[in-house]
Amino acid sequence: MITEKDISKRLGRTIKSPIRIGDVTDLGIDITTFLNFFKPFFEELQDDKYLVKGKQITFLKQSFPEESETIERIHQSYFEGHVTGEVLDPWIQRLDASQKQQFEYLSTITRQRNIASFQIEIWDDTIFAERIVQQSFEQDVDDFRVWKRVFTQATKEAVENELFFELLKKITGLVKKIHPEIRKLQITSHFMRTISQGKIKGENAPEGVHEDGAQYIMSALVINRQNIIGAESQIYEKSSSEHNELIYSKVLDPGEFIFQADTGEEFTFGNDLWHYVTPIEPDDSLKLGIRDIIGFDIDIL
C-alpha cells in the first residue's frame, strides 16, 4: 500500500496528512469475490439530476449575461427541487436552434447514484455497524454541494451484507490506526456510476479540484471500468488560495482505492489535501463508457 511517506520520498519533501493507496487485497478482502458481488448493484442506481441542473443554470447565465443575477436567484430552488424545470422556460424559449441543441446536449444524464449511511462503534477490538437513514445529503463545502440533495437509499441487498460490513470494518481500521482513541465514526457510502456516450464526456468531479467536507474520504473504490479512457485520480496539496500542487496521480483499476485526509487536516497534520478525477470518454464512441465506484465520506464522532 502506498502511503504519504512514499509520496514524500518521491517529492523530496514531507507530506504528513494521511494517504493510503492500494486495493481490497491490502484490506484482506478477495478482489474477485468483491468485484463480482458488487457489480450488479450499479444497474439499479438513480439518475443524478443535480449535475444536469447545475450545467443548465451555468449555460443560461452564459447565454443571457445581462440576466445572470435573475437566473442565479432561482438556482437553489431549482437545484433542490422546490420548483420544476418550467421555471427555465422564459430563457429556453429565447435560445436559437444551435443553443437549444447545446442545451439538450448538456442535459444528458452522465451520473447515477445512491447512498447509505452507517454509525460505527468500536468496543475494545470489536466493531459494530448500524445503518442510519438520512433524509438529505449535504457537504460542508463552499460551492453548490452545500445545498440539500436527496438520493435514493441503497438497497439492503447492496449494503446490509457480510462483505459490505467487512469493508466498513476495514475502513474503520484505516482511521483507527491514525487515531487509536476513536470510539465512533459516521460513514456514508456512495454507489456512483459515471456515463459517457459519443462526444459527451462523463464528469467525475464537475466541481474541479475540491474537498468533500469530511475528515477522511475514500474518494473512489473502483468496481468497474467499461469502454473508457480517462478517470485519472489526482491528489493535490493546496499551499495557498491560488495554488494547488499535484502530488500524486493514478488511473485506478477495479478493486483499487484512494483513502486520504480531506477537510481540516491542515490543522492536525500540516498539509491541506484536495483531490480531482479527470473526465471519462468512450474508447469506442459507438458504445457507452461506464465507470462504477463506491466512495466513502468518513467523520469521527
Q: pLDDT-based confidence at 149, cuts 50/70/90?
A: confident
Last residue in a domain, options 106, 135, 153: 106
Report the mean per-residue pLDDT for the chain: 92
The answer for residues whose C-beta is within 8 angstroms of residue 144's C-beta and 6 or more apart is 50, 54, 75, 79, 207
Average confidence (pLDDT) over 236-253: 91
The number of folded domains in the chain is 2
Average confidence (pLDDT) over 198-213: 88
Q: pLDDT-based confidence at 144, cuts 50/70/90?
A: low
Question: Domain check: are 180 and 280 in the same one?
Answer: yes
Alpha helices (H) in 12-137, listed in sequence order: 31-38, 49-63, 68-73, 75-79, 89-92, 97-106
Q: How far apart are CA 11 and CA 101, in angstroms?
A: 46
Question: Domain check: are 181 and 230 in the same one?
Answer: yes
Question: Domain check: are 140 and 205 in the same one?
Answer: yes
Question: Domain check: are 217 and 278 in the same one?
Answer: yes
For the four alpha carbons of 78, 82, 84 and 89, in that order, the dihedral sign comes to: negative
Q: pLDDT-based confidence at 135, cuts 50/70/90?
A: low
Question: Domain check: are 92 and 232 in the same one?
Answer: no
Question: Domain check: are 159 and 219 in the same one?
Answer: yes
Single-letter residue type at 190 = H
Question: Domain check: are 91 and 200 in the same one?
Answer: no
The answer for residues whose C-beta is within 8 angstroms of residue 287's C-beta and 6 or more apart is 227
Q: Using alpha carbons, select from 250, 260, 261 the residue that is nearest to residue 10.
A: 250
Beta bridge partners of 205: none
Instruction: Look at residue 206 in the predicted model and tell me its pLDDT.
Output: 81
Residue 145: pLDDT above 90? no
CATH code, domain carrying 141: 2.60.120.620
Average confidence (pLDDT) over 139-156: 71
Question: Domain check: are 74 and 100 in the same one?
Answer: yes
- pTM for this structure? 0.89
232 compared with 144, residue with greater pLDDT: 232
Last residue in a domain, options 61, 78, 106: 106
Instruction: Look at residue 133 in the predicted model and tell me its pLDDT.
Output: 86
Radius of gyration (C-alpha) of the chain in whole angstroms: 20
Last residue in a domain, options 106, 128, 151: 106
Average confidence (pLDDT) over 15-21: 97
Question: Domain check: are 152 and 262 in the same one?
Answer: yes
Range of the domain at 86: 49-106
Question: Domain check: are 170 and 40 in the same one?
Answer: yes
Question: Domain check: are 206 and 89 in the same one?
Answer: no
- Is 110:56 a contact under the CB 8 Å cutoff? no
Question: Domain check: are 156 and 226 in the same one?
Answer: yes
List pLDDT tens digits, range 245-277: 999 999 999 999 999 999 999 999 999 999 999
Q: How far apart are CA 117 and CA 121, in angstroms?
A: 13
Instruction: Look at residue 240 in the predicted model and tell me its pLDDT.
Output: 74
Q: What b/e sequence results for 166-185 when a residue is b if at least 16 CB atoms lie within 10 Å of its CB, and e otherwise? A: bbbbebbebbbeeeeeeeeb
Q: Which of 19-23, 82-86, 104-108, 141-145 is predicted least confidently?
A: 141-145
